Structure 1
Amino acid sequence: MRPIMPSDSEGLVTFYADVSDQSKYFRFFSPMPTLSEKDLHRITNVDHHSRVAFVLTVAEKILAIASYELVAPGEAEVAFLVQDAHQGRGMGQLLLEHLAQAARERDVHRFTAEVLPDNQRMLQVFYEQGYQVMGGWDEGVMHLEFNIDPTDTAMGVMAAREHRAEAASIEAFLSARSVAVIGASRRSDTIGAALVRNLVLGDYAGKVYVVNPTADAVAGMPAYARVGDIPDDVDVAIVAVPADAVQDVVLDCAAKGVHGLIVISSGFAETGEDGRQRQRRLVGLARSYGLRLIGPNALGIINTAADVSLNASLSPIMPPRGRAGFFCQSGALGSAILEKVQGRGLGLSTFVSAGNRADVSGNDLLQYWEEDESTEVVLLYLESIGNPRKFSRIARRVSRNKPVIAVRSGRTTQGVPMGHVVRSIEAPQAAVDAMFRQAGVIQVDTLDEMFDVAQLLAHQPLPRGPRVAVVGNSDALGLLAADAAAASGLEVTRSVALGAEAGAEDFETALDKVIDDPEVDGLVVIYIPPLNAGGAEVANALAAVSEQSDKPIVATFLGREGVPELLRVPDLAGNTAGRGSVPSYPAVEQAVRALSRVCEYNHWLDRQPDADELLEDVDHDAAARMLAELLMHSPQGRDLTFAECKELLGHYGITLWDRIAVNSAEEAVRAADLLGWDAVLKATAEPLRQRPDLGYVWRNIADADEMRHAFESLAKTVPSITDAAFVVMRTAPPGVPVRMDGLEDPLFGPAVSFSISGAITELVGDKAYRIPPITGQDAAEAVRSIKAAPLLFGHRGSEAVDVDAVEDLFRRVAHLKNDLQQVAALDLSLVHATTNGVAVLDAAIRFEPVVDPRSDWFTRRLNVHPGDTLPD
């Protein structure tokens, strides 16, 4: 999809010739067999403001066109034309999504359309898009009109269409019925030969074709010079040719009708700027023909389903069938991951190593795994996140039904591998971590910890709560388990020491009693065998109890890692380790930590997603108009004045206390007369505000004499009265000083934070981050999650503050930051939380022009790269 251009005239003539007479009549309300030169000029020459038009193409061939034209301020008329062969495939909805977003960005909020009553498909597009369509009749023509502001229904329609399309595109890879290996070689030590070997030895259920222009046969199979020479259909092509030959392969595959490409070849963005440009051209070419692309520089994909058994990767390891889906980006790391999976007996349903992640990403796999019945646990190794807001939205939905475990490399440095053409995240690590937590993602620090948690989730039920029992035959390890549980936020409600000589019957009896205990939510079992004992009988007893238990059991069994053979319970499909199998950990601390992670996930699940209650006294339109006017006069952006801060915050129901700047004692007296006595005089210059050792503030000033004395005293402590920026304010009621910040990351989007105000908080990093939009529950958890939170709830006999007011203010700050991308930074550096509300005493806001709009999930953004010749 792209904007229409004047050079599309010839293509439009070809497109129009393939449209039926009926469709032409539906569009123009009269017989119109051809387009005149005047028509062509008008359709292809638009200003992209009052007239906007998009075309859908495959390669250079136009399949559909849609446009809108402004008919009144804020109102535009829309029209569509889709080739008959492609009607009913969702093109109209997709075009309408883009048109609506383009219109909203140009202050158009209502669409109208003239539709003939027989044009049922066009009517269906409008109604099924989720807008509230109103209509009337005029001389046999239906006049439709509807607001295009994104309603919940309309956004749901868009999300559902996106989900279906992306999931289907991944299924085409993982359920491929035929695979062509392009670059297959007769030499056994080549990448192409390894790919063919892994497909064949993995017992692939589909057909394998080899493409090699210089050979008659490879690995005993006939070789074809080109994909186009293969007599049968080809679903997926694995490309292992030099980087500069890949584009020719794409064209050949497109002509053949291949659905997807797995590009193993390196030499792209990971090699530098030339490779980056080569990768960009590759992706653009693949998309222009409707092909999805995994890679380049990828390891490949695996599907362990018996009726597919697809190992389209460089790894010779075909992991056992399991319930976990794994996505990673590094090819080299992918091989190590498969070795670990095999060693632990975990089992995978599917595996995708996407290399440079130029097209297919973790977001696509989440869309697929959400509906895949064979995948119950999702594992992600992320080296970069190209669209964090989309990831958060999808992961939050998937996590409600399937646990998502993620390792994110570069957490400390926020670095991005060279081959990944995305910007690095500039937001603090804590903000990105908050996004994962809000989405219900179980974020772990290492791959080993990921497998620790995965083997628990894949084989055991979720705990009902954080109460655990420790059962074992080692007192020392039992104490270690108790210490680890306390450190991990678990509560040991029962500890059963069986003694070193305990046998299978002792364990079984103890486990049965503990499982029946209503005060126990999960079990940690420790078995260290006495001399000359193999533990088989104890293992059988443990597996038998676990198979019937509705509470999770983790074990340190003989120091084994993974799911040992002795502790496995085969499932109905005959997999090696089914539900009820007991995961074992070489260290008891690992077992407890894994159980703690799962408890945190279960706590997130128990949170019922609450509707985001509407905040009163919010006028988004007024705030947006204000910033638009400010940008007209200051196109590069600037810091808001105090009066402007007060006005902007006021549009979101936030009252910033008045202050008056003063440069002399007499001005200070007049200011206090105006504001009211019991006043405050303070220096607000940044260097002074950051020096708590300097007395830059004088409170509770009762009259003019006190004010003069205060001014003279403070003036002696500052280098310059003018530079000190003295102000007079009313004295705020006693309370706890808190701080709320908002930032805009160019990739990550908006984030807000809450903390107790002060230098110590900054030094120790005691801040709670949340990612807008946030709910009341999100705000409540943020306020309570900081270490200094007890100060708000009556610490050491002090009065508790009005926490509801604090949470309401935090929601308003988040709402403002989510609505207004132009607000680059927002800092309510001093808010007094009192027993009866909040007092916002200081604020700083900076606005900047929006260079790259956020990738909000309801926004349909066209991919435009530098150098593309699209109109302004």
Structure 2
Amino acid sequence: MGTDEDAATATGPEGEAYPVHWEADVVLRDGGTAHVRPIRVGDGDALQAFHVGQSERSTYFRFFAPLERLPDRDLARFTHVDHVDRVALVAVAGEQESEQIIAVARYDRTEPTMAEVAFNVADGHHGRGLGSVLLEHVAAAARERGITRFTAEVLPQNSQMLAIFREAGYVLDQHLDDGIVTVSFDIDPTDRSRAVMADREHRAEARSVHGMLTSRSALVVADGDGRRLAGAAAEHLAGAGLPVQVVGPVAVPQGGVARSDLAEAEGPVDLLVLAVSAASSVDVLRRAASLGARAVVVLSGGFVETGPDGVALQRHLVRSAHALGMRVLGPASYGFLRHGDEDHPTVNASLAARLPEAGTTGLFCQSAAMAVGILASARRRGLGLSTFVSSGNRADVSGNDVMQFWTEDDRTSVVGLYLESIGNPRKFSRVARRLAAVKPLVVLTAGRSGHVVPAGHAVRRTRAPRRALDEVMRQAGVIRVESTHQLLDVTQLLAHQPLPAGRRVNVVASSEPLAALVAEAAFSAGLTVGEQRAVPAIAADGSADLERLAEELEAVYADPACDAVVVVHVPTLGEVDPRVGPLVARAAAGSGRTTVACVAGLHGMVPELTAPDADGHPRTVPAYAAPEDGVLALAAAARYGAWRATDRGRPLDPEGVDRARARSLVEAALSRASGPVRLDQDQTAELLACYGLHLWPALPADDVESARAAAERLGWPVALKAAADHLRHRIDLGGVRLDIAGPEELAEDLTQMREHLTDLGAGDARFEVQRMAPGGVACVIRTSEDPRFGPVVAFGLAGDAVDLLGDVSYGVAPLTDVDVSEMVRAVRAGPRLFGYRGLPALDVGALEEVLARAATLAEDLPEVYSLELHPVVVAEHGAAVLGSRIELAGAGRADGARRALPE
């Protein structure tokens, strides 16, 4: 398999350019996997076998006539393609010698921008979503070859094929002529087609993870070095009641069955657990394939982290597993846990002997070492889990896959992730936003910026600003935390308490100084503090009044301006009266308001702080070791509640965008060069115009006469600018003169600028003349195409001070209109746009329109390596784009317009 950073093509056996980057592993509707690739010359026998295996009805639907075998001439034509005007993709199952074609999609160009498309899916694989997957992939290939529209001829009885086109999200033109339905549609992605693709991807990936987590039988295979890992996994699987077979030097657990060899293992087996050397892993996988496993957990290491040879072994393992219909968890995984219910048994395919109790929290942890501590801490706190998954090297199953599952899982109410790296931030953002819209998502990353890449993690390089990952998280509604301690602090609150309706907090503490300290901590965390009440702590000897505490609690919960309550009860001498915990729990559960507590002697989720709410459901007030921990968790919950309650806006879809024209301009510019291209001013203006952005013209001027002619053509008053990049916007260096009203002033300014710039060593600088825009505030909009994050959009006000202070907001496309609005308001200098110190408010709506169109351009055109609009002058009415720079380069975006597993 190739990667996006490998060469796009390789030379095939017939000398044609074989597009390696079109190869991909995919997850199908039933959770199984397949491999999609361009057809090859040597596929003749496999294609004939595919055809012969089809029913007469399927053959008739494809060829409109009975055809028992493909004639040699047709077989040669179908397998000898040029991958440009004639393209064919096949979906295959099995490996190498045993590889079988299970579906075919092809197009033949009929006009420069139009092609006829056709599909054929093996009868035994109908209903798995192969047709829709192949349509996405063949459409992506066609767009790459300059095709914008597909046509297809379909028999009216072929309802499945018509459904594939109809349900893909494209706008169809359809008519019946001579008993044939002709369908045609533009293949540029639409909002609906993207939504359809994301929804299908979501269901398929969720189902594949569900198949792994609900396994009903397992086979554990080990060699000498992996016997301890395998022995632990076998014991834990059998201890949870799962039928287990064991192969290798492993102690057979009670209830398990030993097999002397893989050939003796009996199927079906749902789950394969490997603790073998990296070099033998693929062979074991192949020998066990006939047992029908849906997933394989690889506990052992020795793969990517060992160097290039390990990288090749890991890729080979994953490719083989996908070809055999399996997902891979690991390598170097700690395994997974899924507590059972009435329909499915508990599956403990992990290395953890002692498990947290059953609950509603889902935890994901990449690192096996970190998993040990996180599970132990969750168990000590009494935090119940529905699911735990460790991905290890994350060669296949990732946090994205598990989030897809948890989005629909009724038994999971809150999700916590520990991520050492994020391989595809664009997909992470899309999946996380979908999950966070219905369930809280708490995330801890190894390092704030996402630039950390641990050994064993194959991720793309990144040039994105260190704050880019913060914006990905913020846009997606993710609750970001700083440590595993905070991860569980926030998770336990969200799992057992209602979301706060706002940021207003009341405090009940056992002393006035303590109440003041808690209030200060709440204020620092962004909460609004209301009442602060001090009630002396009630020790076990009954030295204080329990009724007074009950009255004070009743009073703070009765406050209509209260969204949450912090209770701190710490006696200075002796232990807490055991009646205090139940009293706090009853008051909190009866109120329905979010509550956190710090009660001496209690920590985590304890029975003493549990009581039924108004509906009879048990509610537990989480107990924290320090009040500051509870306050920080409460603040995180309040921020998430506000995000959840706020309209997140609509995807950007500005009017008047000519995407086809923009695409042709970019392709034409790149075709004329062998590397990156910087567009000239005319090309820049033409490309921006495709997105409704008007670049104010600037005419070159080498002397006074040409400057005067330019000004007369553009209209007075004008600005005179040095054309050199380092002087273009630098008024402070004398590179710009503004508000030039007439020819004499223009001549004088040009002479003075040339003399001044000569003193600076730039006397040979060329000049530009531009009509003056209405006065306002100068802003800068930039986009850059990052290999890992995709299009990163930046906004700030212009000026050295802003740049030096880093007063810039970032967004990662695709954005919504709300994201754009928040970006403009996020910069600290933003008040200058809204009537700062008596100045008139400016046309922020026009500025947001420019930012939205620039973000849309960056999202649509991954070849736009960088875009700068500088300056964008925002006036009381309108926003003028006075300067722009665009650089193009070859595209290689990680999250493209087709469903595919990471490579």
TM-score, normalising length from structure 2? 0.90
Counterpart residue identity of residue 413, structure 2: E
- The corresponding residue for 1:345 is 382
Alignment pair present for 1:369 and 2:406: yes
Counterpart CA distance in 1 for 2:121 and 2:727 is 66
Partners of 2:213 and 2:337 within 8 A in 1: yes
The Cα offsets for residues 762-820 of structure 1, whole Å up to 9 and x where unpaired, read as 22211111122222222111111121111111122222111111111111111111111
Deviation, 1:54, is 1.6
Between 808-817 and 492-501, the greater mean CA deviation after superposition: 492-501
Q: 3-state SS of the aligned residue for 1:190?
A: helix
Counterpart CA distance in 1 for 2:709 and 2:416 is 65
The Cα offsets for residues 711-770 of structure 1, whole Å up to 9 and x where unpaired, read as 333333323455544333333333222111111101210011111111122222111111
Q: Give the direction of change, closer, same or farther, for the CA distance of 1:729–1:720 in structure 2 (3 Å limit).
A: farther
Between 424-433 and 820-829, the greater mean CA deviation after superposition: 424-433
- The corresponding residue for 1:70 is 109
The Cα offsets for residues 292-325 of structure 1, whole Å up to 9 and x where unpaired, read as 1101111100112355222211222311112111
- The corresponding residue for 1:543 is 585
- The corresponding residue for 1:421 is 458
- Pick aligned residue for 2:797 from 756, 768, 780: 756
Deviation, 1:107, is 3.0
- The corresponding residue for 1:771 is 812
Alignment pair present for 1:193 and 2:235: no
Q: How does 1:100-179 map to 2 (within 5 A)?
A: 100-179=139-218
Partners of 1:109 and 1:147 within 8 A in 2: yes
The Cα offsets for residues 53-107 of structure 1, whole Å up to 9 and x where unpaired, read as 1222211012222222222333322222222222233222222222222223323
Deviation, 1:240, is 0.5
Q: How does 1:34-73 map to 2 (within 5 A)?
A: 34-59=69-94, 60-73=99-112
Q: How does 1:709-728 map to 2 (within 5 A)?
A: 709-718=748-757, 719-728=760-769
- The corresponding residue for 2:595 is 553
Q: 3-state SS of the aligned residue for 2:157?
A: coil
Q: Give the direction of change, closer, same or farther, for the CA distance of 1:669–1:771 in structure 2 (3 Å limit).
A: same
- The corresponding residue for 1:296 is 331
Q: 3-state SS of the aligned residue for 1:525?
A: strand
The Cα offsets for residues 614-656 of structure 1, whole Å up to 9 and x where unpaired, read as 4233222222222222112223122222332222222222222
Q: Give the direction of change, closer, same or farther, for the CA distance of 1:579–1:357 in structure 2 (3 Å limit).
A: farther
Deviation, 1:613, is 6.2
Between 392-401 and 129-138, the greater mean CA deviation after superposition: 129-138
- The corresponding residue for 1:781 is 822
- Pick aligned residue for 2:872 from 831, 834, 838: 831
Counterpart CA distance in 2 for 1:690 and 1:830 is 8
- Pick aligned residue for 1:743 from 784, 801, 805: 784
Counterpart residue identity of residue 592, structure 2: D
Partners of 1:756 and 1:788 within 8 A in 2: yes
Alignment pair present for 1:568 and 2:601: no
- The corresponding residue for 1:509 is 551
Counterpart CA distance in 1 for 2:561 and 2:58 is 69
Counterpart CA distance in 2 for 1:418 and 1:365 is 22
Counterpart CA distance in 2 for 1:489 and 1:183 is 53
Q: Give the direction of change, closer, same or farther, for the CA distance of 1:838–1:491 in structure 2 (3 Å limit).
A: same
Between 214-223 and 723-732, the greater mean CA deviation after superposition: 214-223
Counterpart CA distance in 2 for 1:67 and 1:237 is 36
Partners of 1:539 and 1:566 within 8 A in 2: yes
Alignment pair present for 1:620 and 2:659: yes
- The corresponding residue for 1:305 is 340
Deviation, 1:134, is 4.3
Q: Give the direction of change, closer, same or farther, for the CA distance of 1:551–1:218 in structure 2 (3 Å limit).
A: closer
Counterpart residue identity of residue 445, structure 1: E
Q: Give the direction of change, closer, same or farther, for the CA distance of 1:553–1:721 in structure 2 (3 Å limit).
A: same
Deviation, 1:379, is 0.9
Counterpart residue identity of residue 21, structure 1: E
Alignment pair present for 1:524 and 2:524: no
Q: Give the direction of change, closer, same or farther, for the CA distance of 1:139–1:208 in structure 2 (3 Å limit).
A: same
Q: 3-state SS of the aligned residue for 2:883?
A: strand
Counterpart CA distance in 1 for 2:251 and 2:849 is 73
Counterpart residue identity of residue 568, structure 1: T
Counterpart CA distance in 2 for 1:688 and 1:137 is 64
Counterpart CA distance in 1 for 2:728 and 2:162 is 62
Counterpart CA distance in 2 for 1:862 and 1:558 is 49
Deviation, 1:287, is 0.9
Q: 3-state SS of the aligned residue for 2:756?
A: coil
Counterpart CA distance in 2 for 1:842 and 1:150 is 30
- Pick aligned residue for 1:849 from 886, 890, 894: 890
The Cα offsets for residues 459-501 of structure 1, whole Å up to 9 and x where unpaired, read as 1111111111122122223222222222222211222223456
- The corresponding residue for 2:240 is 204
Counterpart residue identity of residue 785, structure 2: E
Q: Give the direction of change, closer, same or farther, for the CA distance of 1:129–1:628 in structure 2 (3 Å limit).
A: closer
- The corresponding residue for 2:421 is 384
Counterpart CA distance in 1 for 2:876 and 2:318 is 58
Q: How does 1:578-589 map to 2 (within 5 A)?
A: 579-589=618-628
Q: How does 1:251-650 map to 2 (within 5 A)?
A: 251-305=286-340, 307-412=344-449, 414-499=451-536, 503-558=545-600, 560-569=602-611, 579-612=618-651, 614-650=653-689
Q: Give the direction of change, closer, same or farther, for the CA distance of 1:687–1:112 in structure 2 (3 Å limit).
A: closer
Counterpart residue identity of residue 10, structure 1: D
- The corresponding residue for 2:27 is none
Partners of 2:299 and 2:333 within 8 A in 1: yes
Partners of 1:458 and 1:579 within 8 A in 2: no
Counterpart CA distance in 1 for 2:103 and 2:572 is 75
Q: Give the direction of change, closer, same or farther, for the CA distance of 1:702–1:625 in structure 2 (3 Å limit).
A: same
- Pick aligned residue for 1:32 from 58, 63, 67: 67
TM-score, normalising length from structure 1? 0.93
Deviation, 1:402, is 0.6
- The corresponding residue for 1:868 is none
Between 61-70 and 284-293, the greater mean CA deviation after superposition: 61-70
RMSD, matched Cα? 2.6
For this pair of structures, how many residues does the alignment match? 855
Counterpart residue identity of residue 811, structure 2: R
Counterpart residue identity of residue 275, structure 1: G
Q: Give the direction of change, closer, same or farther, for the CA distance of 1:456–1:62 in structure 2 (3 Å limit).
A: same
Between 338-347 and 367-376, the greater mean CA deviation after superposition: 338-347
Q: Give the direction of change, closer, same or farther, for the CA distance of 1:115–1:759 in structure 2 (3 Å limit).
A: same
Q: Give the direction of change, closer, same or farther, for the CA distance of 1:133–1:780 in structure 2 (3 Å limit).
A: closer
Partners of 1:329 and 1:356 within 8 A in 2: yes
Q: Give the direction of change, closer, same or farther, for the CA distance of 1:126–1:248 in structure 2 (3 Å limit).
A: same
Deviation, 1:570, is 7.8
Partners of 1:240 and 1:265 within 8 A in 2: yes
Q: Give the direction of change, closer, same or farther, for the CA distance of 1:239–1:503 in structure 2 (3 Å limit).
A: farther
Q: 3-state SS of the aligned residue for 1:35?
A: coil
Partners of 2:278 and 2:303 within 8 A in 1: yes
Deviation, 1:152, is 4.1
Counterpart CA distance in 2 for 1:693 and 1:129 is 55
Between 299-308 and 451-460, the greater mean CA deviation after superposition: 299-308
Q: Give the direction of change, closer, same or farther, for the CA distance of 1:560–1:713 in structure 2 (3 Å limit).
A: farther
The Cα offsets for residues 7-40 of structure 1, whole Å up to 9 and x where unpaired, read as 1111122222222223222222222111222121
Q: Give the direction of change, closer, same or farther, for the CA distance of 1:426–1:219 in structure 2 (3 Å limit).
A: farther
Q: Which consecutive residues of structure 1, in runs of 5 or more, have no partner in the other structure?
A: 866-872
Q: Give the direction of change, closer, same or farther, for the CA distance of 1:413–1:731 in structure 2 (3 Å limit).
A: same
Percent identity (aligned): 42
Q: 3-state SS of the aligned residue for 2:579?
A: helix
Between 764-773 and 108-117, the greater mean CA deviation after superposition: 108-117
Deviation, 1:543, is 0.8
The Cα offsets for residues 509-553 of structure 1, whole Å up to 9 and x where unpaired, read as 222222222211111221112422424222111111122222111
- The corresponding residue for 1:19 is 54
Q: Which consecutive residues of structure 2, in runs of 5 or more, have no partner in the other structure?
A: 1-35, 539-543
Q: 3-state SS of the aligned residue for 2:884?
A: strand
Counterpart CA distance in 2 for 1:154 and 1:678 is 49
Partners of 2:592 and 2:613 within 8 A in 1: no
